[in-house]
């Protein structure tokens, strides 16, 4: 294919990518402005006005940018544009490859289903054009191999599996919603992994996503580059009506009325203000001690978060207060499902006995009768705590805020601490929960609850904590 073909010509040519748009160029007019701006193409007066609106009133780049970040509302064709860009960058850009080398245009999605959708769109654009079909050597479940030794590959995001490839371009689809069990910041980890290869190949990085909370890679790029002139990074932002005029305004308003907080991100393409990171990076770092041996000559408290063995993990935390009222976490363990809850209970009772706290093992009201009996069989005493999860989190927060927590090095714990979100419920109460449903291991609540139990040294200490929580909430 011609390496001099511009993206606007490829999209409007019914023999090329335009064949996959079914001639409906009006609905894609705003996207066309974004793409022309990103590739440093000349804009008409009307297009320039649209560009200023979606790019924060900055001037258009004079050449193709190194990074394009599109902060776009729902139902605005993000996945189809990811497929358009992947196909264009693979077929219409000049790539320098050594003999026998394979270059990759890589699309990374949030989930397997989203990856399949983008891959289907890529195949659809190629199948719709006879000229593009001739460039295909073979198609597998996740890859399209082309005659120019370039592969279009669509996968679920993972910073472990992308190293070692020659990356000619990389597209992050719905990057605000990436999740990974091994990292709280998979978007940043993947960004760090792909950039060296992209820089070496002068490749382009593209991030397309509906915004979510005010953290992560997309938010950082928007914060640092939206409305800022330059030829390296372009950030565009637009609501659903701007990018998809065919959407029904009445339907959008109905969704807005039913869930106004979600509508801010879903339909207005704004980062949500009702979801904030519960603990800042500075507070977590202040609390983390990476080289601390356990101590055995003090009074310990123990908290367990029990599990039936099928879905949730069974965790335990043991800690103490030092002479300066600093909470020291001596033990933090978790067993992932599937597990035998009786066996784990015996293991944890024995562990508590080592720290001389087997007669005061605290926990919530989960399966109250079973858990009490299970520990009793091990000559241990389980004491129920009536407070709910959010109350435990909020009462433990002042310890973190005052720098009175020392944590063991625990990668899963660090991930979960960063994923905690604090927001206001419909009843007006503060709630704290994990971002992203489906977490299978929860040492965090166990840790914070143990922190909170250690505050039982004096009634006045608990009162001061309650006052600090009230001040924090206000």
What pLDDT is recorded for position 460? 39
pLDDT exceeds cutoff 60 at 424: yes
Split at pLDDT 50, 70, 90, the class of 461 is very low
Q: Please, is 261 exposed, middle or buried when counting C-beta atoms within 10 Å of its C-beta (0-12, 13-18, 19+)? A: middle
What pLDDT is recorded for position 453? 67
Taking the C-alpha atoms of residue 440 and residue 257, their distance in angstroms, rounded to an integer, is 33
Stretch 250-254: mean pLDDT, rounded? 89
95: Cα within 13 Å, side-chain hemisphere: 30
pLDDT digit string, tens, across residues 272-281: 877 777 776 6
373 in Cβ contact with 392 (< 8 Å)? no
Stretch 464-473: mean pLDDT, rounded? 40
150 in Cβ contact with 143 (< 8 Å)? no
Candidates 276, 257, 255; CA nearest to 267 is 255
Taking the C-alpha atoms of residue 351 and residue 357, their distance in angstroms, rounded to an integer, is 9
Token pair in block for residue 155 = 């996968």
pLDDT digit string, tens, across residues 237-249: 999 999 998 888 9
* SS3 letters across the chain: CCCCCCHHHHHHCCCCHHHHHCCCCCCCHHHHHHHHHHCCCCCCHHHHHHHHHHCCCCCCCCCCCCEEEEEECCCCCHHHHHHHHHHHHHHCCCCCCCCCCCEEEEEEECCHHHHHHHHHHHHHHHHCCHHHHCCEEEECCCEEEECCCEEEEEEECCCCCCCCCEEEEEEEECHHHCCECCECCHHHHHHHHHHHHHHHCCCEEEEEECCCECCCHHHHHHHHHCCCCCCCEEEEEECHHHHCCCCCHHHHHHHHHHCHHHHHHHCCCCCECCCEECCCHHHHHHHECCCCCCCCCCCCEEEEECCCCCCCCEEEEEEEECCCCCEEEEEEEEECCCCCHHHHHHHHHHHHHHCCCCCCEEECCCCHHHHHHHHHCCCCCEEECCCCHHHHHHHHHHHHHCCCEEECCCHHHHHHHHHEEEEECCCCCEEEEECCCCCCCCHHHHHHHHHHHHHHHCHHHHHHHHHHHHHHHC
State CA 127 to chain mean position distance: 33
pTM of the model: 0.66
Q: Which domains does the chain have, with CATH numbers?
A: 7-274 (3.40.50.300), 281-473 (3.30.420.240)
- Mean of per-residue pLDDT scores for the chain: 84
pLDDT exceeds cutoff 50 at 285: yes
pLDDT digit string, tens, across residues 49-103: 999 999 999 999 999 999 999 999 999 999 999 999 999 999 999 888 888 899 9
pLDDT exceeds cutoff 90 at 23: no
What pLDDT is recorded for position 164? 75
Stretch 16-25: mean pLDDT, rounded? 81
Q: Which residue has the higher pLDDT, 208 or 390?
A: 208
439 in Cβ contact with 285 (< 8 Å)? no
Highest mean pLDDT among 263-267, 364-368, 393-397: 263-267
Report the percentage of the chain scoring pLDDT > 90: 46
Q: Which residue has the higher pLDDT, 442 or 372?
A: 372
pLDDT digit string, tens, across residues 215-234: 889 999 999 999 999 889 99
What pLDDT is recorded for position 170? 97
pLDDT digit string, tens, across residues 313-322: 888 888 888 8
pLDDT digit string, tens, across residues 354-377: 999 999 999 887 666 889 999 999
Beta bridge partners of 432: 422
What pLDDT is recorded for position 470? 42
Stretch 261-289: mean pLDDT, rounded? 78
What pLDDT is recorded for position 158? 80
pLDDT digit string, tens, across residues 158-187: 876 777 789 999 999 999 998 766 566 788
pLDDT exceeds cutoff 70 at 457: no
What pLDDT is recorded for position 24? 67
Beta bridge partners of 316: 304, 333
């Amino acid at each position: 294919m011609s390496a001099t073909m511009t993206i606007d010509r490829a999209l409007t040519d019914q023999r090329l990518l335009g064949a996959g748009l079914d001639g409906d160029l009006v609905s894609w007019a705003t996207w066309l402005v974004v793409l022309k701006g990103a590739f440093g193409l000349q804009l008409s007066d009307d297009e320039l006005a649209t560009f200023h609106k979606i790019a924060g009133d900055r001037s258009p780049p004079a050449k193709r940018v190194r990074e394009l970040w599109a902060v776009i509302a729902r139902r605005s064709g993000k996945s189809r544009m990811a497929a358009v860009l992947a196909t264009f960058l693979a077929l219409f850009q000049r790539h320098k490859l050594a003999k026998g080398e394979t270059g990759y245009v890589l699309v990374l999605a949030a989930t397997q289903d989203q990856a399949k959708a983008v891959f289907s769109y890529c195949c659809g654009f190629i199948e719709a054009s006879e000229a593009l079909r001739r460039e295909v050597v073979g198609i597998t479940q996740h890859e399209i191999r082309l005659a120019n030794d370039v592969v279009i590959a669509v996968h679920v995001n993972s910073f472990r599996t992308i190293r070692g490839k020659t990356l000619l371009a990389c597209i992050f689809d719905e990057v605000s919603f990436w999740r990974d069990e091994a990292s709280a910041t998979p978007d940043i980890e993947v960004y760090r992994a792909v950039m060296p290869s992209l820089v070496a190949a002068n490749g382009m990085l593209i991030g397309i996503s509906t915004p979510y909370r005010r953290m992560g890679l997309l938010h950082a790029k928007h914060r640092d580059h939206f409305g800022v002139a330059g030829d390296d990074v372009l950030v565009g932002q637009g609501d659903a009506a701007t990018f998809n005029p065919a959407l029904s305004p009445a339907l959008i308003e109905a969704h807005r009325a039913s869930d106004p907080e979600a509508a801010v991100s879903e339909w207005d393409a704004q980062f949500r203000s009702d979801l904030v990171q519960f603990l800042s990076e500075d507070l977590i770092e202040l609390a983390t001690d990476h080289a601390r041996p356990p101590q055995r000559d003090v009074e310990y408290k123990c908290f367990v978060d029990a599990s039936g063995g099928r879905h949730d993990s069974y965790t335990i935390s043991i800690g103490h207060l030092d002479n300066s009222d600093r909470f020291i976490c001596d033990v933090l363990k978790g067993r992932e499902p599937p597990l035998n809850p009786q066996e784990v209970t015996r293991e944890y009772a024995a562990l508590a006995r080592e720290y001389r706290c087997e007669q005061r093992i605290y926990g919530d009201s989960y399966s109250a009768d079973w858990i009490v009996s299970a520990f009793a069989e091990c000559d241990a005493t389980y004491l129920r705590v009536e407070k709910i999860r959010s109350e435990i989190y909020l009462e433990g927060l002042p310890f973190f805020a005052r720098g009175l927590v020392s944590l063991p090095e625990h990668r899963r714990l660090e991930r979960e601490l960063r994923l905690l979100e604090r927001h206001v419920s419909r009843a007006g109460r503060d709630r704290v929960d994990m971002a992203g449903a489906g977490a299978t291991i929860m040492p965090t609540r166990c840790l914070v609850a143990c922190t909170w139990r250690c505050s039982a040294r004096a009634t006045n200490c608990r009162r001061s904590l309650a006052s600090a929580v009230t001040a924090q909430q206000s």
